[in-house]
Structure 1
Amino acid sequence: MKIDLRKYLEERDHMHRSLLRDGPVLTVSRAYGCEANRLVMLLIHRINKLGPGALKKHPWKYISKEVIDECAFDLGINPHDVDQRILAHSTDGINGLLAGFAHHYEVSDREIMSKVKEVIINYAKRGNVILVGRGGSMVTEGMDNVLRIRLEAPLKWRARVIAGKLGIGDEAAYDLVQHMDENRVRWMEHLTGRTYNEHMFDLVINVEKMSDKETLDVILQVMKHRGMIPSQPLEGKSQKFKVS
């Protein structure tokens, strides 16, 4: 069978260049009370049904708590400690010095935050990942081929969702939602050393008004337009992927 050498070389060069590029990555940031897990699992399923990626050929993967778990494993500490140390970290030099004397930590806050950012960047460079939370939207700023999504809804609506989910009163739920929103912003700011910017997102979706299907359709359309995923299913390819 005759081989089109020119076409082969062009495809090989394209593959080589794509492997050197960062991403593609989808980051999902969500206000407390906005469900992301169900949406992301549906999104992963629909993306992988399209077949091999437009830029990278391995299946898309959902990454969230794996960031903290991997960081904790590498540093030899508890995952809960990673989360809490970043949240409690003070940028005040004096407070940080006093905290060091008080707790005698074997691993510094700086080491923890550096490792978390390293893990996120490594996943992002590998590409074909959806990073949910963990400061992924801010850590990946400056990287190419990143689509940043923010899931939002009115505070009262989110409080009702949390009240029903946790079986608590409306007032307690309202206070909890506000508290968790503040903690998430503080966590991201401590991790990156930068002020949270609500305008960094490419898409802000009101989940009170948008159904899962509408949200998925919008995200997929933008990803296709940006060349992050194939625009059409590739025949005979999608069945090779195992969607978990």
Structure 2
Amino acid sequence: MENVFLKYMLRREGKAEVNQPPLADGPVFTISREYGCPGKRIAKHLSEVLNKKLNHEGRTEKWRWLSKEIIDESARELKLSPTLVKNLSEYKNRSFLDNLALFFSDTYYPSDAKINNTIANFIHTAASQGNVIIVGRAAEAITKNFKKSFHLKLMAPLNWRAEKISTDLGISMSEAKRECQEMDKRRFMFRSYFEKGVPDVEFYDASFNCKEMTDDEIVELMVIIAETRGFI
């Protein structure tokens, strides 16, 4: 598939287009989640189940899952620290030291568009290579037009998520609720850069309630989808 997304971003940044080699069209799963839902854990479990199934059939393909790697590779491209890129992409308030680090970085001060587009380009390239599960970072919008793609959103009631965060971080329930709401807001701001106000229903193929479903149940359904859609 022609890398139309990359060409669009290059034009948006005022750069000349470059010749891109043809890329595969997935397959790719994307997992978006409300804060407190186990996106990374489910992605890891799903990749293990898919690889076990392929290995049992004597096939050599391998599935991988990406989350932290998206920020690490984008930070390397931007010549910034992964922590700083993560904070900037999540629209966290920048401290004096953060701004100072950016000022003395090896590259120019990156705009939000530059950071977002760098992250998006990595996601698009990884998805084009196929057999990948991508957690977060608006991957559902970036890869929506891939023929072999499935986009999942994990949701749960606020109280259920806050209980998980309260236990994990050792904070009060009221603090955990505020943390969930603040993180959901920041993730929405990042997605909005790519989704442009289009309703979620246009991007997600399914949503699961993590309060009512176990990890195993979610993964089992995803494997069935992978089989019926010819992903494996």
Match of 1:27, SS? strand
What residue in structure 2 maps to residue 197 of structure 1?
199
Q: Which residue of 2 aligns with 1:225?
A: 228
**Aligned-pair CA distance for 1:196:** 5.7
Report percent identity of matched pairs.
31
Which position in structure 2 is the counterpart of 1:207? 210
The secondary structure found in structure 1 opposite 2:153 is strand
- Aligned equivalents of 1:42 and 1:87: distance in 2? 26
Query: Shift of the alpha carbon at 1:206?
Result: 0.5
Would the aligned equivalents of 1:75 and 1:107 in 2 still touch at CA under 8 Å? no
Alpha-carbon contact 2:54-2:61 (below 8 Å) kept: no
Query: Are residue 65 (structure 1) and residue 76 (structure 2) matched?
Result: no
| Contact residue 140 and residue 146 of structure 1 kept, 8 A | yes
In structure 2, what is the Cα distance between the partners aligned to 1:155 and 1:85? 25
- Cross-structure match for 2:32: 29
What residue is the counterpart of 1:164 in the other structure?
A: 167
Figure out how many residues of one structure are paired with residues of the other and give that number.
197
Describe the SS at the equivalent of 1:51.
helix
Which secondary structure does the structure 1 equivalent of 2:75 belong to? helix
Q: Deviations over 1:133-180 (max 9, x none)?
A: 122112112222110011111111111111111121111111111111
Contact 2:23–2:129 under 8 Å retained in 1: no
Cα separation, partners in 2 of 1:20 and 1:77, compared to 1, 3 Å: closer
Hey, what does 2:118 align to over in structure 1?
Answer: 115
Is the alpha carbon distance of 1:156 and 1:47 closer, same or farther for their aligned partners in structure 2, counting shifts above 3 Å? same
Q: Indicate if the aligned counterparts of 2:103 and 2:109 stay in contact, CA closer than 8 A.
A: no
Aligned to 2:189: 186
What 5-or-longer segments of structure 1 have no aligned partner? 1-18, 90-98, 230-244
CA deviation vs aligned residue, 1:192-215 (integer Å, no higher than 9, x gap): 262263212111010111112211
How big is each residue's C-alpha offset from its partner over 1:97-145, in whole Å with a ceiling of 9 and x where there is no partner?
A: xx9xx96971432322221111110001000000011221121122221
Alignment of 1:173 onto 2:203: no
| DSSP 3-state at the match of 1:112 | helix
Q: Is the 8 A contact 1:162 1:173 kept in 2?
A: yes
Unaligned runs of 5+ in 2: 1-21, 93-98
**Distance (Å, rounded) in 2 between the aligned partners of 1:167 and 1:196:** 36
CA–CA distance in 2 between the matches of 1:31 and 1:133?
10
Provide the C-alpha distance between the structure 1 equivalents of 2:23 and 2:60, rounded to a whole number of angstroms: 13
Tell me, yes or no, if the aligned pair for 1:188 and 1:196 is still in contact at 8 Å: no
TM-score (norm 2): 0.77
Q: Relative to 1, partners in 2 of residues 1:194 and 1:57: Cα closer, same or farther, differing over 3 Å?
A: farther
Return the alpha-carbon distance in structure 1 between the equivalents of residues 86 and 40 of structure 2.
19
Deviation per residue, 1:3-39 (Å, 9 max, x gap) = xxxxxxxxxxxxxxxx953100000011101112222
Greater RCO, 1 or 2 (C-alpha within 8 Å, sep 6+): 1
Amino acid at match of 2:167: G
Given residue 45 of structure 1, which amino acid in structure 2 is its aligned partner? Answer: E
Larger-Rg structure: 1
SS in 1 for 2:54: coil
